[in-house]
């Protein structure tokens, strides 16, 4: 993020705020700042804190919808959710999730990884909290990568994974990303697979993929890599979607309403895969169905690149 504000200036501003880390791996709560009225250097301080803590919480902001959308725009171009319609406001970029008994995102995920360019970050405002429950958790994908053993890190460095939007009833929306993503601003490596959208490790056979992907997506949720946030109304949260996952606790009765704006994405960068995609050898069998989706996607990609050559 080029801002024209030095790291020193941004650091001096953040030093005047009350910044409390919430967990060992990620997360900070920040008081003493009004997000609706940030000058350029204060905004740069927020950006620097986001790179450091991965998810930031600003209680007692109570932004109007316009202020919320304006604040989001400062991070980049906003986009509407590709698969969820939002009937609630005149801003097509703002979407609202309202739930009374669950019906929330209670599977670990990084937003929109089924797209070639998943969201960079999101800004969420908690509008209405249930009396108890409905906390959200985030996990650091840096910590999840760093704490793998060296052999598994090296294996993951050379793999890619297929993601799809089956949870949004659009299994045909698919893409392939590196399993280890290099953050474009920090240069750090993040373990970039999630339970919700990641379907298959491309270079492994179906059963190998099932075991390793199952392991990695569970590993990410190790409590040591996470922070859990108890909401109050009017709190703004900003998370870096390039190096985190999140999960909503489905343990509440009563209304829970959040509003979110989403900053358009970039293409995840990582090392090129070290091996060719898995192609099932030999004759068809009853188990061929496990390779169908991957084979279909690879054929479609090949047809696409033939057309553009
Ligand atoms: O409701 C929340 O706390 C977060 C929901 C979610 O997954 C999202 O907004 O991306
Ligand atoms: Fe989400």
For residues 3-12, average pLDDT? 81
Task: Check pLDDT > 60 for residue 67.
Answer: yes
In CATH, what class is 9-104+119-134+230-240+251-263? alpha beta
Strand pairing category for 198-201 and 189-191: unpaired
Task: Check pLDDT > 80 for residue 308.
Answer: no
* Amino acid 108: pLDDT: 98
Task: Check pLDDT > 60 for residue 309.
Answer: no
With residues binned 3-state (H G I as helix, E B as strand, rest as coil), the percentages for the chain, rounded to 5, are 30, 25, 45
* Amino acid 81: pLDDT: 72
How far away, in angstroms, is 263 Cα from ligand 1 center? 14
Question: For residues 56 and 19, what is the distance between their CA atoms, to the nearest angstrom?
Answer: 9
Task: Check pLDDT > 70 for residue 38.
Answer: yes
Render pLDDT for 22-36 as a digit per residue (tens, 0 to 9).
999 999 999 999 999
For residues 135-157, average pLDDT? 98
Q: Identify which ligand lies nearest to the alpha carbon of 245.
A: 2
Token digits of residue 293: 């989706």
Query: 225 vs 93, which has greater pLDDT?
Result: 225
Q: Which of 111, 164, 240, 291 is catalytic?
A: 111
* Amino acid 125: pLDDT: 97
For this structure, is 68 an active site residue?
no
Does 54 contact ligand 1 (Cβ within 6 A)? no
* Amino acid 231: pLDDT: 98
Render pLDDT for 241-289 as a digit per residue (tens, 0 to 9).
999 999 999 999 999 999 999 999 999 999 999 999 999 888 888 889 9
Q: Which of 177, 246, 256, 297 is catalytic?
A: 246
Task: Check pLDDT > 60 for residue 78.
Answer: yes
Question: For residues 36 and 258, what is the distance between their CA atoms, to the nearest angstrom?
Answer: 18
* Amino acid 19: pLDDT: 97
How confident is residue 70, by pLDDT bands cut at 50, 70 and 90?
Answer: very high
Does 105 contact ligand 1 (Cβ within 6 A)? yes
How confident is residue 136, by pLDDT bands cut at 50, 70 and 90?
Answer: very high
* Amino acid 293: pLDDT: 94
How far away, in angstroms, is 105 Cα from ligand 2 center? 6
Render pLDDT for 91-123 as a digit per residue (tens, 0 to 9).
888 988 889 877 788 999 999 999 999 999 999
Contacts 24+ apart (CB under 8 A), 37-45: 38/71, 38/74, 40/3, 40/4, 40/5, 41/5, 41/9, 41/10, 41/13, 42/13, 43/3, 43/74, 44/1, 44/3, 44/5, 44/9, 44/10, 44/13, 45/10, 45/11, 45/13, 45/14, 45/17
Q: Where are the domains of the chain?
A: 9-104+119-134+230-240+251-263
How confident is residue 83, by pLDDT bands cut at 50, 70 and 90?
Answer: low
How confident is residue 87, by pLDDT bands cut at 50, 70 and 90?
Answer: low
How far away, in angstroms, is 126 Cα from ligand 1 center? 10
Strand pairing category for 18-21 and 28-31: antiparallel
Question: For residues 12 and 222, what is the distance between their CA atoms, to the nearest angstrom?
Answer: 34
* Amino acid 10: pLDDT: 83
Task: Check pLDDT > 80 for residue 53.
Answer: yes
Cα pseudo-dihedral 97, 98, 101, 106, rounded to 10 = 10
- CB within 5 A of ion ligand 2: which residues? 105, 111
Asked whether the CA dihedral 129, 135, 136, 138 is positive or negative, the reply is positive
Task: Check pLDDT > 60 for residue 1.
Answer: no
Q: Which of 53, 68, 81, 109 is catalytic?
A: 109
| Contacts with 190 (C-beta within 8 Å, 6 or more apart), sequence order | 141, 142, 144, 145, 180, 181, 182, 183, 242, 243
For this structure, is 109 an active site residue?
yes
* Amino acid 7: pLDDT: 81
């Amino acid at each position: 993020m080029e801002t024209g504000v030095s790291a020193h200036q941004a650091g001096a501003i953040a030093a005047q705020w009350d910044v409390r880390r919430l967990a060992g791996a990620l997360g900070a709560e920040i008081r003493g700042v009004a997000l609706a009225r940030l000058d350029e250097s204060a905004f740069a301080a927020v950006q620097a804190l986001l790179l450091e803590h991965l998810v930031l919480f600003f209680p007692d902001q109570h932004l109007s919808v316009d202020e919320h959308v304006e604040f989001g725009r400062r991070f980049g171009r906003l986009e509407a959710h590709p698969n969820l319609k939002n009937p609630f406001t005149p801003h097509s970029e703002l979407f609202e999730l309202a739930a009374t008994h669950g019906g929330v995102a209670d599977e670990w995920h990084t937003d929109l990884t089924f797209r070639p360019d998943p969201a960079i970050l999101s800004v969420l405002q908690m509008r209405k909290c249930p009396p108890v429950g409905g906390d959200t958790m985030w996990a650091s994908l840096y910590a999840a990568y760093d704490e793998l053993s060296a052999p598994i890190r090296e294996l993951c460095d050379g793999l890619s994974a297929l993601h799809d939007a089956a949870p949004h009833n659009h299994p045909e929306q698919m893409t392939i990303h590196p399993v280890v993503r290099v953050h474009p601003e920090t240069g750090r490596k993040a373990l970039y697979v999630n339970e919700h959208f990641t379907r298959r490790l491309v270079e492994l056979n179906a059963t190998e993929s099932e075991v390793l992907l199952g392991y990695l997506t569970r590993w990410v949720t190790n409590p040591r890599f996470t922070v859990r946030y108890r909401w109050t109304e009017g709190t703004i949260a900003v998370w870096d979607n390039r190096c985190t996952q999140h999960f909503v606790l489905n343990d509440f009765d009563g209304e829970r309403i959040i509003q979110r704006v989403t900053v358009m994405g970039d293409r995840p960068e990582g090392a090129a895969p070290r091996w060719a995609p898995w192609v099932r050898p030999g004759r068809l069998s009853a188990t061929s169905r496990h390779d169908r989706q991957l084979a279909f996607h690879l054929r479609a990609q090949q047809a696409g690149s033939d057309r553009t050559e």
